Amino acid sequence: MNNFDFCTPTRVIFGKGVISELPEALGALGKKVLLTYGGGSIKKTGLYEKIIGLLKDFEVYELSGIEPNPKYSTSVVDGVRICKENKIEVILAVGGGSVLDCSKAIAAGAVYDGETWDLITGKVPTKGALPIVDVLTIAATGSEYDCGAVISRTETNDKTAYLDSYLFPVCSILDPTYTFTVSKKQTAAGVADAMSHVMEQYFGNPSTILNDGMCAAAIKSLMINAPVALKEPDNYDARAQIMFVCTLACNGIFSLGNGLSGWPCHGMEHALSGFYDITHGEGLAILTPRWLKHILCDKTVKRIAQFGTEIMGVKSGLSDYETATQAIRKLYDFFVSIGIPMSLKEVGIDEKRIDEMAHHIAINEGLDDPSLFAPLSEQDIKEILIASL
């Protein structure tokens, strides 16, 4: 077991009706609020109106129109400007992972005098951030319980993971009923995203019995509850269990003391959505079975076979290679069964920029570190991308 240093200070208030806690949670942090949200679905569902009603004692400014794969040059820059101009004290993010990630970058930029991009890229250390409260409307990224943000800069095809302990939300308000209206496409992509978060942690070596069991339970819960939520979008228990797993899936608690995997599928997917702006969870679902197939070798086969028997329900009695191969097949079939387009071509990516993306990934993501579970060279990355076409 490896050493670790872990802290997740975020308060999670979870369940039906917990929005009533919002004024108290927010009031403890300030009265001047920047409300951030996306394309306006919260206006259609009535959540916007409900929140504005709860905030009548606050001074509320707004930043709307935050896009999926949130953009530095528009949303982050605008948000930082609004915070500075109006001396905002607390950010209220209402939406999914993109709104939250964007809000985290804004929170850090708001208390820094220079260019926020320098914080995001780590050129300058982050020394503080405005407090963030969020109301989650989609279960997926786990950004509500971690200190990470992924920000895209379109002009350079960059999609950068920004991690800093100042970025933990102070309080996350999670009502599963707000996810009833999430489309089938986004529900499936959110589940795939969370499954990838768990798998990126599971494929670290060494691991512990507790970590392996937590990962297994998280993936099983998603695979059992996703079909229910897709068939009955307002099934509270299925939506709640999915939201619960997604929240715990990305803060590292499932892999404390594990060896490093390097999060290879995320590293590769950041280039796909950085270059083509595709849905993150779909990119991950497309890549993951191809990644597993590519790295399958004598060194990795036991762990992938363990994934097969303990998580994917492959029956016992087969060889390790047969078990691993069946596990990869079952994972692929599951993604198909929840309606995810399982090739890059189906999401609008062809072979034209494969070389360019493979090179971008190889020089930016550190996936060739020999201490990783399965190090990837530029050639490996290229082959995985081609196999995903």
Site residues for a second copy per CB under 8 A: 1-18, 21, 176, 208-214, 216-218, 220-221, 224-225, 236-237, 240-241, 244-245, 248, 253, 256-257
Report the residue number, 10 or 75, with the smaller CB distance to a second copy.
10
Closest contact distance (angstroms) between CB of 231 and a second copy is 17
What is the spatial distance between Cα 334 and Cα 280, in angstroms, rounded to a whole number? 17
Report the residue number, 6 or 85, with the smaller CB distance to a second copy.
6
Report the residue number, 130 or 246, with the smaller CB distance to a second copy.
246
Q: Which two tokens stand for residue 17?
A: 């009706």
CB atoms within 10 A of CB 139: 33
What is the spatial distance between Cα 25 and Cα 23, in angstroms, rounded to a whole number? 6
Report the residue number, 291 or 334, with the smaller CB distance to a second copy.
334
Report the residue number, 189 or 311, with the smaller CB distance to a second copy.
311
Closest contact distance (angstroms) between CB of 17 and a second copy is 8
Return contacts of 20-25, CB within 8 angstroms, 24+ apart: 20/54, 21/173, 22/51, 22/54, 22/55, 22/92, 22/133, 22/135, 22/173, 23/54, 23/55, 23/57, 23/58, 25/133, 25/170, 25/171, 25/173
What is the spatial distance between Cα 225 and Cα 239, in angstroms, rounded to a whole number? 7
Half-sphere exposure of 56 (CA within 13 A, CB side): 4
Output the CA torsion sign for 376, 381, 387, 389: positive
**Which of helix, strand or coil describes residue 67?**
coil
Closest contact distance (angstroms) between CB of 160 and a second copy is 26
Four-point Cα dihedral 8, 13, 15, 18, nearest 10:
-160
Report the residue number, 18 or 386, with the smaller CB distance to a second copy.
18
Report the residue number, 1 or 336, with the smaller CB distance to a second copy.
1
Closest contact distance (angstroms) between CB of 211 and a second copy is 8
Closest contact distance (angstroms) between CB of 385 and a second copy is 33
Report the residue number, 25 or 354, with the smaller CB distance to a second copy.
25
**Which of helix, strand or coil describes residue 136?**
strand
Report the residue number, 15 or 313, with the smaller CB distance to a second copy.
15
Closest contact distance (angstroms) between CB of 100 and a second copy is 18
Report the chain's terminal Cα–Cα distance, integer Å.
38
Closest contact distance (angstroms) between CB of 307 and a second copy is 15
Closest contact distance (angstroms) between CB of 187 and a second copy is 17
Identify which of 165, 150, 199 has the alpha carbon closest to the alpha carbon of residue 304: 199
Q: Name the H helices within 130-276.
A: 184-202, 209-231, 236-248, 264-276
Half-sphere exposure of 41 (CA within 13 A, CB side): 17
Report the residue number, 5 or 57, with the smaller CB distance to a second copy.
5
Helix (H) or strand (E) holding 33: strand 32-36
Closest contact distance (angstroms) between CB of 40 and a second copy is 28
What is the spatial distance between Cα 126 and Cα 386, in angstroms, rounded to a whole number? 38
Closest contact distance (angstroms) between CB of 235 and a second copy is 11
Q: Any bridge partners for residue 93, and if so which?
A: 36, 134
Name residues whose C-beta falls within 8 Å of residue 219's C-beta, 6 or more positions apart in sequence. 195, 198, 199, 311
What is the spatial distance between Cα 78 and Cα 60, in angstroms, rounded to a whole number? 16
At residue 28's C-alpha, the angle toward residues 26 and 31, to 5°, is 65
